[in-house]
Structure 1
Amino acid sequence: MTLRTLLLATAASACALPAVADVNIYTTRQPELIQPVMDAFTDKTGIAVNLAFVNEGLIERLKAEGPRSPADLVMTVDIANMQRVVDSGTIQPMDDQILQDAVPANLRATDNTWFALTTRARIVYASKDRVAEGEISTYEDLADPKWKGRLCTRSGLHDYNLALLSAYIAHHGEEEAKVWAQGLKDNLAKKPEGNDRSQVKSIWAGECDISLGNTYYMGQMLADPEQTEWANSVSIRFPTFQDGGTHVNISGIAMTKSAPNKAEAQQLMEFLVSPEAQAIYAEVNNEYPVLEGAPLSDLVQSWGEFTVDDIDLTEVAGHRAAALRIMEEVNFEG
């Protein structure tokens, strides 16, 4: 074989090799929060991950793109939004034993259309100076008149608060949930506004004594020199439902029907529930892993243990429309 023939054969062989495809993700989560774990996947496999932040109109975009959509995966930070994506008909189930073994049954769809990657608890931030230990123990307590003018929260129409109210409906029914929502409104110290961290700032400033928030925001505040003082003014309390545990929500993932890079996307899904990825999630984002035995960060461990509410998250997601209607009926934002 001549040198020219050898070079041509080598070039032809190289062209015939399958290219390593990228994985494209539509995410409602801020990309910077998940970039570290995506970088770890790329370092391990050579497969690049493209994150597109789609905060509004996710379902409409998937439907409009149809089978031509470049999205392989969809990630959301709320079970109700994930269920809405599934209900839109743009998702395919994943019969994947690695995913099913890693993710507990109550943290994935029964038809394997979505899988949780992490969880976070919806807790109470309480003033260290003005709220005694044990003074609040249940979500039901939040509607007690003793908290009148002492409660702060972000919009009642935000996904996190709608999910909590949806869980309340699952436990107590719509009628009692409406009474509870009205009680929350009556106890507000000010109009709902801002995010979970700004509620803690209000506690620090003496505007209220307790607020609703997700656990991981404590980690974010402690990492920000401008917010450390806010964080140190409160403690985390893990309320429970009277007949259940502490409400948790998820960040989750699902495979689109159109997935042009299905094999690579499936590889990424499996990596995200691996011990390596779950440890990165826990350390970087101060979230709770879904993989049994995956370590918590030292900071998260310091917050203490709690009993996770065992109500099915798909049921919780099914009550979102009722929760939204109740918040509007009590004029929570007014």
Structure 2
Amino acid sequence: MATLVTASGCSAFGSDEPADLQVYSARHYGAEEVFAQFTEDTGITVDFLAGDDAELLQRIRAEGEESPADVYMTVDAGNLWAAADQGVLAAVDSPVLDEAVPKQYRDSQDRWFGLVMRARTVIYNPDNVDPSELDTEDTYAGLADPTWDGRLCMRGTTGVYTASLVASLIDLHGREKALEIVEGWVANDVRIESNDVLLIDAVDAGTCDVALVNHYYLARELEERPDLDVELMWASQDGAGTHVNVSGAGVVESSDNPEDAQALMEWLATDGQDDLVAGNQEFPVNADVPAEDIASGFGDFDPMPIDAEAYGSLNAEAIDLLAEAGYQ
């Protein structure tokens, strides 16, 4: 369910004194503080509506030209692609964004721009796993090997992370091979947890030897619990690279204030990058902005190229494949 949140002391939708910008945001990591800092820096006020990526996109489409939304912000490149493909987002002509956001993290027609990046990779318990066991050309496929029977933990199908990963595997290997990989996970009696923190706890306790998590969850936990018996390894470094995704945003086509909407996106990609990643350990897309200490301490890695169209167009097929394989 979508929830209205007011940043910087602004008024809510429909009031006599609306904010300058209305942001529909699926991003919840300190969003209110980020928008408040933007207002302090620029004087542009912001209200934001928090909700699920797909739910917010559907809401904008249902509202049509009367939508109050100026900016659509999501945590998945596939949803950004879908919004652009459905005509929800406007092309933006911005030398600032062109310079700040590398081409691989933005739409080819400049309708959306990635702002921060996350990697979904392997963690393991060093008491039970020799990292050489995971050092394969395709680490994700390698987890289907019977050697991991009863030793594997993963996230369920309800969140975007698993579907996007499987969509990338379909794009990389084709459906038949991707199905074989997921069936191998299931055959290994994969233990499903509802969130990444529970996955980290399971590996720390030795309940599972290996798991797939977004890197920043481990970084956050290590900040609070540096004695965790958990190590991170970048997946598939001898092959296609580690699966990555972006949180990003676009200006809504029907926006009444596209200039300020563009200003927000430019700020988020430049002066606001530090605020955007502060405390959450994601990777900034702007190469001039350093990652936070723990995340950068994981070391450099080769990412799998992001194919937003594949993540978006193959999402339904990925969900069907997971169901066919018996993945919960």
1:261 aligns with 2:257: yes
Cα separation, 2, equivalents of 1:151 and 1:42: 45
Cα separation, 2, equivalents of 1:153 and 1:126: 12
State the shift of 1:24 in Å: 1.0
Structure of larger gyration radius: 1
CA contact (8 A) 2:223 2:294 kept: no
Match of 1:214 in 2: 214
Match of 2:60 in 1: 62
1:96 aligns with 2:97: no
Per-residue deviation, residues 230-253 of structure 1 (Å, max 9, x unmatched)? x71211111117531111000010
CA contact (8 A) 1:126 1:234 kept: yes
Of the three residues 268, 279, 288, the one matched with 2:283 is 288
Match of 1:5 in 2: none
- Percent pairwise identity: 34
Gap regions ≥5 residues in structure 2:
1-16
SS at match of 1:184: helix
State the shift of 1:120 in Å: 0.5
Of the three residues 131, 134, 137, the one matched with 1:133 is 131
Cα separation, 2, equivalents of 1:177 and 1:252: 27
CA RMSD of aligned residues (A): 2.0
Amino acid of the structure 2 residue aligned with 1:113: R
Deviates more, 1:250-259 or 1:278-287: 278-287
1:90-129 equivalent positions in 2, closer than 5 A = 90-129=88-127
Cα distance 1:314–1:100, how it changes in 2: closer, same or farther (>3 A)? farther
SS at match of 1:153: strand
Cα distance 1:118–1:64, how it changes in 2: closer, same or farther (>3 A)? same
1:167 aligns with 2:168: yes
Aligned residues: 308
1:122-271 equivalent positions in 2, closer than 5 A = 122-137=120-135, 138-190=139-191, 192-224=192-224, 228=225, 232-240=228-236, 243-271=239-267
Cα separation, 1, equivalents of 2:229 and 2:117: 25
Per-residue deviation, residues 283-322 of structure 1 (Å, max 9, x unmatched)? 3221111112211111111111111112533333332222
Cα separation, 1, equivalents of 2:179 and 2:253: 38
Deviates more, 1:313-322 or 1:151-160: 313-322
Higher helix share: 1
* TM-score for the superposition, normalised by structure 2: 0.88
* TM-score for the superposition, normalised by structure 1: 0.86
